[in-house]
Amino acid sequence: MPLREMPPLEVPRSYARWALSQGLNRAVLSFASRRGDPLAELMWSRDMPDYSRLRARGAIHSNPFMAGTVSYAAANEILRSSDFGVGDGQGELPVPLRWLLGKVSAPDALGPVDPPSMLAVDPPLHTRYRKHVSKAFTARRISSMAEMVTSVAGDLLDDLDPREGQVDIIEEYAAKLPIAVIAELLGVPDSDRPDILRWGDQAAAILDPGLSWRDYSQVEAAMRSLHHWFEDHVRRLRSDPGDDLLSALVIAGDLDDIELHALGLLLLAAGFETTVNLIGNAVAALDAHPSQRSLFIADPSMADGVVEETLRWDPPVMATVRQAYVPTRVADVDVPKGTAVAVLLGGANRDPSVFADPDTYDITRPNADQHLSFSAGAHFCLGASLARLEARVGLRLLYERYPTLRVSGQGVRRNTRILRGYSHLPVSW
């Protein structure tokens, strides 16, 4: 299906949404980055981050526009503290500008960082939404899904033909595995999965700060297509529900259609984007560290170590933002009310005070699972256990089937800053 066209009369409102949510960020980050501010450089650059300059500025570094941290202790405290919140998904904006943004919002263009998404609301509303969705991620439910994940991964590996010489492991495996799993949770028909995968991949860029107007327009088109698909899908589930999570939420009747769309979009974004990036980053990291790859191939039970160390060393999500709701103090630094703090998860994961020799990729690292890649506190990733399961099973089966697998061409990183992963990664064996 083609992308949903934007109604002509909606263009000025869309431009206003871009200007408030992206245009201002783009101007500020670009200006501060050119001035050499280390926080702005990290938030603006798409290169592999170098956290040393920002770490040298102390636990929390502030510039005239916002603050940021690569300190594990400070990041952990901020993520867990009720003194901070997500600021309607736009914590970097002053409250008056967030109010204006709300006035030009459109129900069919809301993304995973817009209310009522769980990423964009604080308790008690966040608690209410999380209660509904958490039933899909109980330990028993995740354990029961292991057989399905193993079956899907096996089928996908059966389809990889080594005689072809080279395979894009992202397109043919890392992306197809999580979309199959999340489609089961959402009740997505097989025929619709390619469209959902394409639109979800396009819409994920909304997490980035400072999109251009052109890129933002494409993202909104993808989100609009997803919303209209969810509208039709929810209508179908009302008359013919399945045994999936979304059907259960529809039947319960506790959420309105906009809330159902928001939860569906969040599950799609979180359930797909995190896992595909995690699997791709792990394949690249193992290839770049032959000794670690050999350890894993010799002992596939080390899959947990591969997953946790990859999450720490090259996380799928690089940063999140929190706003101080009250004057507070973090890591002996005063944080005024209203301050937006960029929590650089990738930097916290390489804090030498917590992780010895943090720039080294080591799948035997005993405390790798202390990383903050799934956040912490109230907004700890609800799907973390599912992402871990998919990556653990997916990587173990991949290397058991093809132990000589190697990256055989130039990998292409995604053109995003917050989400870190590969769009293409050619391999052969």
Question: pLDDT tens-digit profile of 140-164?
Answer: 888 888 999 999 999 999 998 766 6
Residue 389, token pair as written in the block = 């399961």
- Could you write out the DSSP letters of every residue in 47-100? SPP--HHHHTT-SSEE-SS-EEE--HHHHHHHHH-TTEE-GGGTTTS-HHHHHH
Average pLDDT over residues 328-332: 96
Boundaries of every domain in the chain? 8-428
Alpha helices in 289-383 (DSSP H): 290-298, 303-313, 345-348
Distant-in-sequence, close-in-space partners of 129: CB < 8 Å, separation ≥ 6: 116, 118, 121, 255, 259, 263
Distant-in-sequence, close-in-space partners of 345: CB < 8 Å, separation ≥ 6: 75, 315, 317, 318, 319, 320, 371, 372, 373, 375
**Distance, CA of 27 to CA of 168 (rounded, Å):** 36
Residue 356, token pair as written in the block = 């010895």
pLDDT band at 5 (very low <50, low <70, confident <90, very high): low
pLDDT at 3 over 70: no
What is the pLDDT, as a whole number, of residue 175? 92
- Report pTM: 0.94
Most confident of 159-168, 192-201, 331-340: 331-340
240 burial via Cβ count (<10 Å: 0-12, 13-18, 19+)? exposed
Distant-in-sequence, close-in-space partners of 46: CB < 8 Å, separation ≥ 6: 413, 415, 416, 417
pLDDT at 165 over 90: no
pLDDT at 270 over 80: no
- The listed CATH number (3.40.50.12280, 1.20.1340.10, 1.10.630.10, 1.10.1050.10) that belongs to domain 8-428: 1.10.630.10
* Residues 90/66, Cβ–Cβ less than 8 Å: no
**Distance, CA of 69 to CA of 338 (rounded, Å):** 16
In the block, tokens 């992963």 appear at: 421
pLDDT band at 8 (very low <50, low <70, confident <90, very high): low
